[in-house]
Amino acid sequence: MSLLLGVASNFPVAFTLVYVVGFIAAIAIGSIAWYNSKRPPGWEDRERPDLVPEVKTEEENS
């Protein structure tokens, strides 16, 4: 057991932090992209959450 704790204490915290922040960013960006995409079957009438911004395409802006 002490061997595992010795290895874990030498593992760089910055390395772990980059992966954790990257994972959270990927989930956030993916969620925004999913909510702005076409709704899956059965979800067409659902409202977009207030937290997710609406992204307009060039066709919608014209």
CA atoms of 54 and 52, how far apart (whole Å): 7
- pLDDT score at 61: 66
- pTM, two decimals, is 0.48
| Amino acid identity, position 15 | F
Length of the chain: 62
According to the model, what pLDDT value does residue 40 have? 66
In this prediction, residue 25 carries a pLDDT of 96
Q: What tokens were used for 23? A: 């994972």
Residue 57: what pLDDT? 74
Where do runs of H (alpha helix) occur along the chain?
A: 2-10, 13-36, 58-61
> What does R_g of the chain's alpha carbons equal in angstroms?
20
For tokens 């999913």, the residue is 34
Looking at residue 24, its pLDDT comes to 97
pLDDT tens digits for the chain (62 residues)?
454 555 556 668 888 899 999 999 999 999 888 877 776 677 777 777 777 777 777 776 66
